[in-house]
Amino acid sequence: MADDIHLKGVDFNCLHCEKQHNDCEKTLDCCCKNCFNDGSTNLLKSLDYKELDFLVDGKQQIIYKPGETIIKQNTSSTYVVCIRKGLAKVYVEGVKGKSLVVRLIGQHDFVTGGDLFNGNVQKFTISAVTEVHCCLISASKLSQLFSENNRFAVELLRHHTKQNNDLLNKLVVLTQKYMPGRVADTLLYLKNHVFCVNPFSVPLTRQDLADMSNMTKESLVRILQQFKSSGLIKTQGSTFEILDENGLQEISRNG
Per-residue model confidence as pLDDT tens digits over 93-149 = 887 778 889 889 988 787 765 556 666 777 889 999 999 998 888 888 888 888 899
Least confident of 80-89, 199-208, 238-247: 80-89
**Alpha carbon 136 to chain centroid, angstroms:** 14
- Do the Cβ atoms of 63 and 9 come closer than 8 Å? yes
Is the residue at 11 inside a domain?
no
Examine the domain organization and report whether 108 and 221 are in the same domain: no
pLDDT for position 112:
67
pLDDT for position 43:
72
Examine the domain organization and report whether 167 and 224 are in the same domain: no
Examine the domain organization and report whether 143 and 228 are in the same domain: no
Question: Which tens digits make up the pLDDT trace of 221-236?
Answer: 999 999 999 999 999 9
Question: Which tens digits make up the pLDDT trace of 76-96?
Answer: 777 888 888 899 999 988 877
What are the Cα distances from residue 219, in Å, to 44, 74, 206? Answer: 43, 30, 10
Strands lying side by side in the sheet with 60-64: 60-64, 132-138, 79-85, 110-111
CATH of the domain at 121: 2.60.120.10
Least confident of 25-34, 126-135, 188-197: 25-34
- Domain interval for residue 128: 21-173
Choosing from 154, 173, 192, the residue where a domain stops is: 173
Is the residue at 40 inside a domain?
yes
CA dihedral 182→68→26→28, nearest 10 degrees, is -10
pTM: 0.77
DSSP 8-state assignment for residue 10:
B
Residue 72 pLDDT > 80: yes
Q: What is the 3-state secondary structure (H, E, C) of 69-97?
A: EEECCCCECCEEEEEEECCEEEEEECHHH
Examine the domain organization and report whether 124 and 220 are in the same domain: no
CATH of the domain at 216: 1.10.10.10
Residue 248 pLDDT > 60: yes
pLDDT for position 113:
58
Average pLDDT over residues 192-202: 93
